[in-house]
Amino acid sequence: MTIYYSEDHEWVNVTDKTGTVGISEYAQKALGDIVFVELPEVGDEFSKGDEVAVVESVKAASEIYSLVSGEITEVNGELETNASLVNSSAEEDGWFFKIEISDDSELDDLMDADGYKKFIAGLE
Amino acid sequence: MSATDDDHNEDDLLKTPLHSLHEELSGKMVPFAGYLMPVQYPLGVMGEHNHTREAAGLFDVSHMGQVVIKGKDADLWLETLVPGNIIDLKVNRIRYSMFTNEQGGILDDLMITRRENDIFMVVNAGCKTEDIAHMRAHLPDHLELVELNDRALVALQGPKAAEILSRFANGADQMDFMSYAEVEICGAKCFISRCGYTGEDGHEISIPADKAIEVCKTILKEPEVEAIGLGARDSLRLEAGLCLYGHDITVNTTPVEAALVWSIGKRRREQGGFPGAEKILTQISSGNIERKRVGILPSGRAPAREGTEILDADDNVIGIITSGGFGPTFAGPIAMGYVTLKNAETGTSVFLQVRKNKLEAKVAAMPFVPQKYYRKK
């Protein structure tokens, strides 16, 4: 199990070919109170960079772009009734969806946990 | 996640007299109408919204324009620019009205107070330069127009707001809704108006700029008061069904289309005499308008933001959302917008095109959360 982060503050936790995707603790703080998450559907296919989900806070909507190419295998149904799970547990219970990664070389462009920690330290 | 903040050059932005207080309170500062304003504090939009509904919130609204008109027959002349009844406005009473143009469009909405010797107005930040130019162009030279640039403006809103203010300004809680008084707080001469933009009871307080931080710190020391940013101000006013200029009302909407006919007095409807009167009065008497501002209630959990198209069952575009988001007190998505007149009746089923989804919604009565203005018995 390896976790990767993007500069857009998303994470993907990879086990074999399956990636679990969400937004980082830093992202949930920046977005504020999350009231709705629009998730993809199981079976949908995305290329890296496609808009795959939308996070709505009281203030605004923010798009989530796919970190990797692949097919959606599962979505977090809990978020439908309790979107604030993203605020309370961004990097665990507040995951968005699972994706079957079609090209794991795309992970090379992402940061590891230490790299991301340094990256956000540079933003403060 | 994509950045949504405007990337204006911070150096070009104006700061209110409360700027250093916002920084001290760790307000998140964003550009708004040419000013650097706090969108939220560490409490967050939802927490600030709920706190205002449950106790009291203090908002910096110093970006808004405070203008005084002095001189003979200022009320008569002002009536040539607004459809509100100003001549019959009693001393220390406030009226909501709007500047209209010859086409009946709304140039700005504003609060007008008749004071003992002059008329005091509060106008929108984004319109104030144009409003003043408009008044200078149309009002006679004998009337003096004074911008009160040396005053801050804050709003104290919420069920406990009036009682809190009365701790510093004796009797503030006994003032009627839409009335005005001049009081001393911390030794500073303040203008207090029992009105606001949240649907809650409370006051707006005009404070000399050099005393603004002291007065606000004094109010914030009261245990029931929290500083509230523009984010919660927007969700509060949307729940209260109140218009945001530039979004829900613009130069392309008339007061009739905007469902603001209640603000046009009987005498003004009979006599006209304001810009666009011909069009506006014809719209009132015929009831014939192409579109009307209504509340929109999405059936699901997804908010429909400004710019969302409103469709009928056959996918025809019948309107557009002008303000939309999530109402923390309502506990669900809420919106307002314009629809064609035949779809404007409360309860009408409509659809909202939110990204790739066509979502069910209904035309709904506003406000979404009951207004709690203080009415003197």
ipTM for the whole complex: 0.87
Residue of A nearest to B233 (CA): A59
C-alpha distances in Å from residue B66, one per residue of A64, B40, B106? 42, 24, 19
3-state DSSP call for residue A79? helix
Residue pLDDT, tens place only, B71-86 = 999 999 999 999 999 9
Compute the distance between CA of residue B294 and CA of residue B257 in angstroms, rounded to an integer: 10
Residue pLDDT, tens place only, B241-297 = 999 999 999 999 999 999 999 999 999 999 999 999 999 999 999 999 999 999 999
Which fold would CATH assign to domain B290-364?
Elongation Factor Tu (Ef-tu); domain 3 (2.40.30)
Residue of A nearest to B325 (CA): A58
Domains of chain A: 2-103 (2.40.50.100)
Name chain B contacts of A83, Cβ cutoff 8 Å: 301
Name chain A contacts of B30, Cβ cutoff 8 Å: none
Question: Is the CB of residue A34 less than 8 Å away from at least one CB of chain B?
Answer: no
- B225 φ, ψ to 5°? -105, 135
Residue pLDDT, tens place only, B170-187 = 999 999 999 999 999 999
Contact (Cβ atoms closer than 8 angstroms) between residue B185 and residue B81? no
C-alpha distances in Å from residue A103, one per residue of A45, A69, A96? 13, 7, 20
Residue pLDDT, tens place only, A44-56 = 999 999 999 999 9
Distance from CA of B328 to the nearest CA of A (A): 8
Please identify among residues 84-123 of chain A the ones whose CB lies closer than 8 Å to any CB of chain B: none
Indicate whether B88 pLDDT > 90.
yes
The 10 Å CB-count burial string (b at 16+, else e) for A14-47 is beeeebbbbbbbbbbebbbbbbbbbbbeeebebe
Question: Is the CB of residue A7 less than 8 Å away from at least one CB of chain B?
Answer: no
Partner-chain residue, chosen from B1, B325, B357, that has the shortest CB–CB distance to A62: B1
Give residue B192's Cα distance to chain centre. Answer: 16
Question: Is the CB of residue B38 less than 8 Å away from at least one CB of chain A?
Answer: no
- Residue identified by tokens 């989530």 is A64
A31·B231 Cβ contact <8 A: no
Compute the distance between CA of residue B213 and CA of residue B19 in angstroms, rounded to an integer: 9
Residue of A nearest to B4 (CA): A62
Structure confidence at residue A1 (pLDDT): 82
Compute the distance between CA of residue B344 and CA of residue B347 in angstroms, rounded to an integer: 9
Alpha helices per DSSP H over B25-154: 45-54, 74-78, 128-138
C-alpha distances in Å from residue B293, one per residue of A81, B79, B257? 30, 25, 6
A33·B4 Cβ contact <8 A: no
Structure confidence at residue A60 (pLDDT): 87
Give residue B26's Cα distance to chain centre. Answer: 25
DSSP class of residue A94 equals T
Partner-chain residue, chosen from B325, B328, B355, that has the shortest CB–CB distance to A54: B355
Residue of B nearest to A5 (CA): B1
A62·B44 Cβ contact <8 A: no
Compute the distance between CA of residue B95 and CA of residue B267 in angstroms, rounded to an integer: 15
Compute the distance between CA of residue B107 and CA of residue B236 in angstroms, rounded to an integer: 23
Residue B375: CB atoms within 10 A of its CB come to: 9
Structure confidence at residue B177 (pLDDT): 97
Who contacts B144 (Cβ-Cβ below 8 Å, separation ≥6)? B69, B70, B71
Where are the CATH 2.40.30.110 domain residues in chain B? 290-364
Residue B252: CB atoms within 10 A of its CB come to: 11
Who contacts B290 (Cβ-Cβ below 8 Å, separation ≥6)? B257, B340, B341
Question: Is the CB of residue B83 less than 8 Å away from at least one CB of chain A?
Answer: no
Q: What is the dihedral of CA B90, B96, B99, B101, to 10 degrees?
A: -110
Question: Is the CB of residue B2 less than 8 Å away from at least one CB of chain A?
Answer: yes
Compute the distance between CA of residue A20 and CA of residue B317 in angstroms, rounded to an integer: 38
Structure confidence at residue B353 (pLDDT): 97
Confidence of residue B5 (pLDDT cuts 50, 70, 90): very low
Indicate whether B7 pLDDT > 50.
no
Contact (Cβ atoms closer than 8 angstroms) between residue B274 and residue B83? yes
Who contacts B203 (Cβ-Cβ below 8 Å, separation ≥6)? B155, B156, B161, B162, B165, B172, B175, B192, B193, B194, B195, B196
Residue pLDDT, tens place only, B204-240 = 999 999 999 999 999 999 999 999 999 999 999 999 9
A9·B1 Cβ contact <8 A: yes
Instruction: Provide the residue type at B193 as one letter.
Output: S
Compute the distance between CA of residue B200 and CA of residue A78 in angstroms, rounded to an integer: 34
Compute the distance between CA of residue A70 and CA of residue A102 in angstroms, rounded to an integer: 5
Listed in order, strand segments (DSSP E) in chain A are: 2-5, 10-15, 18-23, 34-38, 45-46, 51-57, 61-65, 70-75, 97-101
Residue pLDDT, tens place only, A101-124 = 999 999 999 999 999 999 999 987
Give B32's strand partners: B35
Distance from CA of A109 to the nearest CA of B (A): 16
Assigned token pair, B136: 């200078």
B333·A64 Cβ contact <8 A: no
Structure confidence at residue B289 (pLDDT): 97
Compute the distance between CA of residue B185 and CA of residue B192 in angstroms, rounded to an integer: 10
Q: What is the CATH number of domain B10-61+150-239?
A: 3.30.1360.120
Where are the CATH 3.30.1360.120 domain residues in chain B? 10-61+150-239
Compute the distance between CA of residue B300 and CA of residue B343 in angstroms, rounded to an integer: 20
Question: Is the CB of residue B41 less than 8 Å away from at least one CB of chain A?
Answer: no
Residue of B nearest to A24 (CA): B1
Assigned token pair, B122: 């509060």
Compute the distance between CA of residue B335 and CA of residue B327 in angstroms, rounded to an integer: 9
For residue B183, give the nearest of B196, B166, B199, B197 by alpha carbon.
B166
Question: Is the CB of residue B235 less than 8 Å away from at least one CB of chain A?
Answer: yes
Name chain A contacts of B328, Cβ cutoff 8 Å: 33, 58
Q: Which helix (H) or strand (E) holds B337?
A: strand B332-340
